[in-house]
Each structure stands twice: as structure tokens, then as C-alpha cells.
Structure 1
Amino acid sequence: MNEPLALYIHWPFCTSKCPYCDFNSHVREAGVDHARFAAALRAELAHEAARVAPGDGARRPLASIFFGGGTPSLMLPETVAALIADATALFEPTPDIEITLEANPTSVELGKLRAFREAGVNRVSLGVQALSEDALRFLGRRHDASEAIAALELARKTFPRVSFDMIYARPGQSEAAWRAELRQALALAADHLSLYQLTIEPGTRFATEYARGAFALPEGDEAARLYFATAEEAAGFGLAPYEVSNYAQPGAQSRHNLAYWRYGDYLGIGPGAHQRLLLDGEMLATRRHRGPEEWAARVERTGHGGTEEQALTPQDRGREALLMGLRLDEGVDPERIAARSSLPFAETVDAAMLAACIDEGYLEWRGQRLRTTIEGRLRLDAMLPVLLR
């Protein structure tokens, strides 16, 4: 109970649905009832805070707040301010609490950045995705490259910490073109980058188009070259790959996301949000209703929008801890996995497959920690199912 919490707040609304996105995001042409959803978020936050209160009058430490979506920069700044005020009253904020808000480089959202900073946000994550006009159109983005650059410059002036996302391994993208685009992005001096390989997610518009052969993606050795090029270019600007898709300058890692990858406790508030909480010796996994209006109605009736909560078995907890932790460059500490799962580390992995992965150079022991090599990261999705018991 003394370990700090991470708090995720989901704003599910977007002005349009990107063709690659499978997140819980919704477009409401008739508009959004901001007052209703603000009240529901605040009520669900209060409900969850009461559950995790230590019971002795103390407040649970809170290390990070992350406004994700959807498009949380479409929220009213006063809603963001109210949620931050509630969270820091219900919990004990750590002195260096990280408060992140995701935003897109559109004029509507940029006009709010200073108000979000005044509300208490101290880190912004911009959905740049590309600096190529053709790529931005292909990805369905509502901004152009000049707007992205202007957004990054404004964000740097407004927030002490700035991150942005880019998508690579796009159709027809060469290594030389990606290196040039990435250098341009890195020169804009953010301290954190999330660089994602384009993948086809079921149920998206891209999944339909890809299935009928509308476009092809780099695969195999070609995709691997783009991954290695990404790490090389980021290193040239002082950013190290601390997670499979995330690069940061020393000390600029996303503390909120590290809570997930290190299998810490986190609260998830809002439509479709998930959470993991260790309470009374049980790891409780909670899901909330994905439909925004139905979620809000549930909160209004019962104080929360949860649809499912189950206590994870020790085996499930061990698997989840490994699935998350092996994404990190630092790897996993077997003692922490045992403590979080109540299961000896040796019972979470297949010993023969572990030995084989080490022999192949995909995994290695660094001191007392098990970590993936760079070759192992390329194969992580295929490796994990056979590694876990």
C-alpha cells in the first residue's frame, strides 16, 4: 500500500477516427456533453480512491496522472484542472508527480496548451505521427507537417517535458527516407519519443484495406532494418531505447508508463479503462464499459462504470509481469515478479525455453535481472507465448 499509484484518465472522444486506430475512441457529430462526462469522471475517481484508502487517515501516494484517449486535449481545461485537484486531494502526490496530457497538433487543441499548463499539466505528448505530407494524409491525420512543427515549438515553450509519437514502416518507406524524417523530428528537441511500427489491427479501416491488397507494409528484414535505424538515429541525439518503442534522454522516461511495465498498481478511470490493484493480497483486474454514454449512466447509478472485476491467479500475475517487464531495456527482477505474483519466478517460465532463448541470444542475464537483447526485442511477440508457463 505504500507503493505509489499511477492514475489513467480516459477521454474517449475524437473529431475523427484514424484508420489505424483500435483504441476506445468515438466521434460524436452532435457534440459532447462535457459537464456530464466531467462529473462522471470525478465521481468514478472518488469511488476508486475510497477503495484504496489505507484506512488510517493516510492517503495513498500518487506518482503520475495520464490523460489519454481518444483526444484528451478536446477536454475543457477546467475539467482537467478539476480532475487534477481531486486526484491530488484524494491521494498524496509525490513531490515530482508527473501529469501528462495527450494532444494533437491542430489549431483547436494548440489554443488550449497554456490553459492545460495552468491547470497543472507538466508533460505533454503530441500525436505528430509523421512529418511527410503524403504519410499524414495516408494516416488520416488532420494536421500537416508545418502544424506539427509549430506545435512542438509551442509545447517546448509551454511545458517542462515534451514527448511525441511517430509511426514508421509505412507503405513504400525506405530506410533513407525514415532516417531523414526521424532526424528532422529529433532536431526539434523533445526529451522523449514514442516510435511505433505501423501494425494492422483487427476491426480498423486499415485492416479492411490491407486485406484487399490496397497497400503493403515493410516486413521481415526490411522492417528490422527500420527498427535498427530508429535506435541508431535516436542515440545520435542522446535518446536511449528504454522500452521496445520508447526512447528518452536520461531521466526523461515516462514514469506513468513505467508503472505499467514494472507491474505496479494503477487506477483506470473513464470509458473502457482498465486497472490493476493489489488489495488484501489479491491482484484485482477491472474493466469499465467501453460505450461512453452507457459508462456515464452506470457511474450515475452506482458510482462507477465497471463491468468486470476478477482476482488474477498467481500464474496470471506472473505472466503479466513478464509480458510487461521484458519490454523494458532494464528487464525484470525475479524477486519483484515473485512478490507481485506470490509465485516463485521459476514457476512463471518454461525452463527449457528460457535456456533456448538465452542460447539464441534473445535473452540475457544482466546481474540479477533478465532482459531481452535488441535481437530479442524484434522477436518478443513470438517469444513470449512459448516462454511463459
Structure 2
Amino acid sequence: MNHTDAPAAHVLPDFVAEAVQATDRTFSLYVHVPFCLSRCGYCDFNTYISPDLGPGASHDSYASTAIKELEFAADTLDRSGIVPRPLHSVFFGGGTPTLLPAEDLNAILERAGQLFGIQPGAEITTEANPDSVTQQVVQELAAGGFNRISMGMQSSVSHVLQVLERTHNPDNVVSATQWIREAHLELSLDLIFGTPGESLQDWQRSLDTVLGLRPDHVSAYGLIVEEGTKLAAQIRRGVYPNTDPDDQADKYLATEQRLSDAGYRWYEISNWAYDPDNQGIHQSQHNLAYWRDQDWWGIGPGAHSHMAGFRWWNAKHPAAYASRVLENISPAIGHEIPDADARLLEKIMLGVRLAEGLDTAVLADQPRHAAQHAMTETQLLATQGLIEPDALEAGRIVPTLRGRLLDDAITRRLAGF
């Protein structure tokens, strides 16, 4: 993988413009809002508690800084000879974007629309915590152009939320859902299973709550204990037991059963869309853009961007990020051009997580010995019940339910590890 220093000039490599013009790639926008009211014990995201981290990096000034980076992005694309493409999707993540006033989020979105355009019907999402929205905020976001809210529920069981150090009131999930529905916005609920001390009955209670709220979309992830987090230290000291892979597998199977019985369809290993007629509706178009290797520009501290195989990332700390933006210097501090092996591994890793699967042509497009090995492995994986035989006959590698539990192993085998 080729790592070099990020260029200071407002320009992308020539091959990016050539690739964008030669292919029908979509273009999305991610806006990172790094503020939180408190830091959850399991979280290793680039988030900060202080509302004021210096010039351009406070609650009050953040929108204007983000808008300035949007303008920098538009100028860079223009200087690079890349014809503007209307935004396929927009996603505000964090952190907790809704700690900023709705008018600030709307102002960032409005400026993005002015600079790039937004496709008709584009998915425009903000993340939110149940305690960070009010009925008025939801109505203002809807009026400003947002059409989807992804709410961090995680669990409906108080002692599980306590271990995760989630501070929201579980009852507020119900109120926020009602406001979102009244504003005619789509709703996605984010869940975490496998928290230390969470029983299977606890998880079933959370699923009961979700099914009672009938969101359009559900994301459910097994808890990963990241090094350097408070939870990792607590587990190391014996305050909590470590996560149990078998327990997480049981909860994943329960999730698939309950959601599929209620009309939800998995389209990515950790994501389900309400789609009783199997028409492909309510899937997260923004996340699919990531998984399908499309283009996106990331705005904000630590945000990553990708265009036609060229990747770069911004300064991580909000103060350092804002300082560069305000001085009209690229906030990017590094970039890379993944080599062919890295690109292949990524395509395999992402493809085998999707219900649409991985095209077997991807495996054939490599040196002869490696391609033969990979195709032999696909037959073994089908025989072992890890990928769907019918899909394989049609040229797609799609994991079975059992295969979803072993997707890392599938990736390693197809990649020849």
C-alpha cells in the first residue's frame, strides 16, 4: 500500500479525474460532528466532551468551519477537473450531531446542496441520541431537507445501558420515534448485543421494543471491546466479564429470526431493512455506497474520504483540523493509494458481507494460481454450507446464515490467508 504525505495543493491526482469520468460512480458526503455530552465506556470514536475546543472548533462555530471545508472541497474538485456530481447521499455522524442546533445542521446541508447539488430522492441522514432531539428539532430538520434519522438506542434494558455508559432515558426512544414519524422521516435504530452481563432474555426485551416501534431499518452489532477504552480497562481489572463469541452468535441468530419473522430482510451482515415484499426498500444508501466502493468526501476532524481508489484523512483533533481549514490549508494530513492486493482484499471482505454477494469475477481477476485457489475454495465453502450454492451457480458469493457468523473465515479463505 502506497502511503505518502498529503498534498497541500487544492488538487487530486490526475488518475482520479480520469477514473471518475470513465465510470458511473456515485458521490456522497459524510459530515463528522465530534461533540458528545459524555463519553461511553466502549467508544473509541473521534469524539470530545468539551463544547469549546478553540477557534472554529466549538459548538457555536463548528457549522461555519464545516461549510468552509465544503467550499474547499468544491474548489479542489474544480481545480482537479472533476465535473460536479449531485450528492447520492448525505450522512451526519459523530459524536452526536444533534448537539448542534438544527439550524446549523440545516445550514451545512444547504451549502452542500448549493455547491454540489443533491439528487432527487437522495437519502439525507443524521445520527441522534434519544435525549438529544425534541419534537421541534425533528420538525426543523425535516423542514431543512433531512429525511432520515439514525438513533442510537443500543438497548432497552437499563443495566445494559449502564455497563455501556449510555446516559439516555430508554423511555425517550419511544417519544423520539413518535416525533420522527409525525415529521414523516425514516427511522433507523442502532443496537449493540453481547454487552457483559446482558442475558439472552435482556436481548429479547430489546428486540421486543424495536419490533414494537417498527423502524424502517435496524442495525445490530456485536460489541467489540476496543483497546484503550474504559470498558477494556474494566474487563482487564475483572469489573466485568469479557464478551463471549458463543453468546454473541446466539443473539445474532435470535435477531435474524425475530426480524425476518417481522418482515425485515438482511442486506448486510449487521443491517436489516423493513421489506416484507423483498423489494430492496429502506436499505441505507449511504452505507451501501461505502460497501460498494463508491466515492465520498468526508468533512470534519478525522474524517476519511475516497475517490476512485485514492483515500485521504483529515487532522484528528478538532482544534488542529479547524486551524488548517480557517487558514485555507487542506485539513488532510495523509493519503494512500491501496495496491492491487489491498484492493482485492477489501472487495472480498465487503462483498461477502452483503446479501447481493461478491461477483466471482473479482476472484478470477488475479494471477492464475490464486484465482484457481479461490474458485476451489468457493466450492468447498458451498459444500460446507457457508455460502449459497444457487447464488454461486449464478456467479455470486453470498453467505448463508451460518456463513454470516463466520464471515472473517470466508474472507481469509477466499483471499488465500
TM-score by length of 2: 0.84
Please give the per-residue CA displacement for 1:109-167, whole angstroms capped at 9, x wherever unaligned: 66522221121111001111111122222221121221122112222212431111111
Q: Which residue in the other structure is 2:70 paired with?
A: 45
Give yes or no for contact 1:44–1:303 (8 Å, CA) kept in 2: no
Offset at 1:226? Answer: 1.1
Q: Which residue in the other structure is 1:330 paired with?
A: 356
Distance 1:108 1:358, change over 3 A: closer
Offset at 1:361? Answer: 2.2
Query: Which residue of 239, 248, 254 maps to 2:284?
Result: 254
Give yes or no for contact 2:90–2:124 (8 Å, CA) kept in 1: yes
Q: Distance in 2 between matches of 1:138 and 1:127?
A: 15
Give yes or no for contact 1:272–1:291 (8 Å, CA) kept in 2: yes
Q: Which residue in the other structure is 2:259 paired with?
A: 234
1:295-306 correspondence to structure 2 within 5 Å: 295-306=321-332
Distance 1:263 1:349, change over 3 A: farther
For the residue of structure 2 that corresponds to 1:34, the secondary structure is coil
Q: Which residue in the other structure is 2:412 paired with?
A: 385
Give yes or no for contact 2:386–2:399 (8 Å, CA) kept in 1: yes
- 2:393 maps to 1:371: no
For the residue of structure 1 that corresponds to 2:213, the secondary structure is coil
Task: Please tell me the residue identity of whatever aligns with 1:256.
Answer: H
Distance 1:364 1:345, change over 3 A: farther
Q: Which residue in the other structure is 1:82 paired with?
A: 107
Task: Please tell me the residue identity of whatever aligns with 1:259.
Answer: A
Q: Which residue in the other structure is 2:345 paired with?
A: 319
Q: Which residue in the other structure is 1:291 paired with?
A: 317
Task: Please tell me the residue identity of whatever aligns with 1:375.
Answer: R
Range with bigger deviation, 344-353 or 264-273: 344-353
Range with bigger deviation, 240-249 or 147-156: 147-156
Distance 1:16 1:368, change over 3 A: same
Q: Distance in 1 between matches of 2:240 and 2:162?
A: 14
1:68-217 correspondence to structure 2 within 5 Å: 68-106=93-131, 111-217=136-242
Query: Which residue of 272, 276, 288 maps to 2:306?
Result: 276
For the residue of structure 1 that corresponds to 2:290, the secondary structure is helix
Q: Which residue in the other structure is 2:10 paired with?
A: none
Offset at 1:19? Answer: 0.5
Q: Distance in 1 between matches of 2:188 and 2:246?
A: 29
Task: Please tell me the residue identity of whatever aligns with 1:13.
Answer: F
Distance 1:307 1:109, change over 3 A: farther
- 2:244 maps to 1:219: yes
Offset at 1:343? Answer: 5.2
Offset at 1:73? Answer: 0.7
Please give the per-residue CA displacement for 1:7-58, whole angstroms capped at 9, x wherever unaligned: 1110011111000111111110657623532222112222223334598895
Q: Distance in 1 between matches of 2:37 and 2:59?
A: 14
Range with bigger deviation, 38-47 or 68-77: 38-47
Q: Distance in 1 between matches of 2:62 and 2:371?
A: 41
Offset at 1:344? Answer: 4.5
Q: Distance in 2 between matches of 1:63 and 1:163?
A: 18
Task: Please tell me the residue identity of whatever aligns with 1:363.
Answer: I
Offset at 1:106? Answer: 0.7
RMSD, aligned α-carbons: 2.5
Q: Distance in 1 between matches of 2:284 and 2:351?
A: 14
For the residue of structure 1 that corresponds to 2:398, the secondary structure is strand
Give yes or no for contact 2:191–2:221 (8 Å, CA) kept in 1: yes
Task: Please tell me the residue identity of whatever aligns with 2:46.
Answer: N
TM-score by length of 1: 0.90
Offset at 1:355? Answer: 4.3
Q: Which residue in the other structure is 1:33 paired with?
A: 58
Q: Distance in 1 between matches of 2:82 and 2:378?
A: 46
Give yes or no for contact 2:157–2:205 (8 Å, CA) kept in 1: no
Consecutive unaligned residues of structure 1, counting only runs of 5 or more, are none
Q: Distance in 2 between matches of 1:112 and 1:148?
A: 15
Offset at 1:277? Answer: 0.3
Q: Which residue in the other structure is 1:23 paired with?
A: 45
Consecutive unaligned residues of structure 2, counting only runs of 5 or more, are 1-19, 276-280
Q: Distance in 2 between matches of 1:133 and 1:333?
A: 43
Offset at 1:267? Answer: 1.3
Give yes or no for contact 1:332–1:371 (8 Å, CA) kept in 2: yes
Equivalenced residue count is 381
